[in-house]
Amino acid sequence: MVKPLGRIYTLMAGALIVISLGGCALKHATGNLVTGKKLFATNCASCHTLSHANSTGTVGPNLDDAFRQDRADGVKSTSIEGLVDYWIQWPNTQGVMPSMLLKGQDAQDVAAYVAAVAAEPGQDTGALAAAVAAKVSPTPAVGKTIFTGVGSCGSCHTLSAAATTGTVGPNLNSLKEACAAPASQKVRGSTLEKCLHTAITNPYAYIPPGYKSGIMPDTFSKTLSPSQIQALVAFLSSVTH
Ligand code: HEC
Ligand code: HEC
C-alpha cells in the first residue's frame, strides 16, 4: 500500500499553485535556528506544544504530534520547513490561527526551528538551550551558577569565588583594577557595572593588554537572556577586587 503523505501533500499542492502564481513562495531553507526559537517562544508557544521549546500551549495542534508521521515517512526537514513557513503565511482562513504572525526571514527562521526539532527525541543543547533561557533573578548567587554553568566562563577564566582555573582569558580576580584603567574606561564605561556589561556583551570593543580578539565568544547577548547577563554582572562586581 502506498502511504499518502496526507497534509504535506495537500498543502504542497496548494503551495505549488501559489508558487506558479506568485513567484517564490517557498524559498530555499536558510533559517537561523536560535532566532527561530526565540520567535517561536514569543509568537507560537502560547498556542502550540513543542517539546524542544518546552511549550505546552493547547489552542492549536501539538506540533510534535503533527509532524510525527511525516518524520516516520522520511519527509525531509526542508519539506517540513516549507510547510510550516507556508502555514504561517496562509493558515486556514476559517481557523483560529492568526495569519501573517510573522513575515519573510522571521517566518523562515521559525519554520526552520520547528522543522529541526518537531517530533525529534531529546532536548535542545548549546546555544539553542540558552536562546530563551528563563528569566532569572539577577542576584550574585544566580550569576555564579551561570558563570560555572551555561556561560561556561570558568573554562577560560580563573576566578577564586567560582573556584575556576581557566587560563585562556584574563584572570578575573582583579577586574576592578582592569576596569579602572583609563583606556578601558574610555571604551567600556566609567563604572564597574558598565565595564562588565560591555566586556560580556561586546568583548572585542576593548582588548586587555596581552590578549587578542576572536577568542571570547561575542554572542552572549544572544545566547544569554538580559537577566542572566545582569546576574553575571552582579556576581562579578561583588567578588572582584
Ligand atoms: C492564537 C493561537 C495560535 C498561535 C499564536 C499560533 N497558532 Fe498555529 N495553529 C493554531 C490552530 C488553532 C491551528 C489549527 C488550524 C486552525 O484552526 O487554524 C494551528 C495550526 C498550525 C499548524 C498546522 C499543524 C497541522 O496539524 O497541520 C502549524 C504548522 C502551526 N500552526 C504553526 C504555528 C507557528 C509556527 C506559529 C508561530 C509563528 C503559530 N502556529 C502560532 C493556533 C495558533
Ligand atoms: C573561549 C574562552 C572564553 C570564554 C568561554 C569566556 N571568555 Fe571572557 N575573555 C576571554 C578572552 C580571550 C578575553 C580577553 C580578550 C577579549 O576581551 O575579547 C576575555 C575577556 C573577558 C573580560 C574582560 C577582562 C579584563 O581584564 O578586562 C571579562 C569581564 C570576561 N571575559 C568575562 C567573561 C564571562 C562573564 C564569560 C561567560 C559568560 C566569559 N568571559 C567567557 C575568553 C573567554
Pairs from 216-225 (Cβ < 8 Å, separation ≥ 24) = 216/156, 216/169, 219/127, 220/151, 222/34, 222/127, 222/131, 223/34, 223/127, 223/130, 223/131, 224/130, 224/133, 224/146, 224/150, 224/151, 225/132, 225/133, 225/134, 225/135, 225/136
Give pTM, 2 decimals: 0.54
CA distances from 203 to 207, 213, 220 (A): 7, 8, 9
Q: Ligand 1, closest atom to CA 66? A: 26
Q: Closest ligand to 103 CA?
A: 1
The reply to whether 6-123 and 133-239 are identical in fold is yes
Q: Which ligand is nearest to the CA of 220?
A: 2
User: Could you state, in order of their start, the residue ranges of all structural domains in the chain?
Assistant: 6-123, 133-239
Q: CA torsion angle for 64, 69, 72, 77 (degrees, to 10)?
A: -60
pLDDT of residue 22 exceeding 60, the answer is no
- How does residue 215 score in pLDDT terms, banded at 50, 70 and 90? very high
Pocket test for ligand 1, best of 37, 86, 87, 97 (most atoms within 8 A of CB): 97
128-234-206 Cα angle (round to 5): 75
* Grid cell at residue 102: 510573522
The residue whose CA is least distant from atom 39 of ligand 2 is: 153
CA distance 112 to 40: 11
Measured in Å, residue 15 CA sits from the centre of ligand 2 at 48
pLDDT digits (tens, 9 = 90+) for 32-85: 999 999 899 888 887 899 988 877 788 899 999 999 999 999 999 999 999 999
Q: Write the DSSP assignment of 138-176 as a string of letters.
A: --HHHHHHHHHTTT-GGGT-EEGGGTEE--SS--STTHH
Q: Report pLDDT for 241.
A: 83
Which residues have CB under 6 Å of ligand 2?
151-153, 155-157, 168-170, 172, 175, 178, 196, 199-200, 203-204, 207-208, 211, 213, 215-217, 220, 232
pLDDT in tens, 124-177: 887 887 777 667 889 999 999 999 987 889 989 999 999 999 999 999 999 999
| Look-up of cell digits 510550516 | 84
- Ligand 1, atom 12: closest residue by C-alpha: 60
Opening angle at CA 15, ends 46 and 85, nearest 5: 30
pLDDT at 29 over 70: no
The whole-angstrom separation of Cα 231 and Cα 241 is 18
- pLDDT, position 30: 67
- Our answer on whether the CB atom of 91 is closer than 6 Å to any ligand 1 atom is yes
133-239 belongs to which CATH class?
Answer: mainly alpha
- Ligand 2 center to residue 37 CA distance, Å? 26
Cβ atoms of 117 and 125 closer than 8 Å? no
CATH topology of domain 6-123: Cytochrome Bc1 Complex; Chain D, domain 2 (1.10.760)
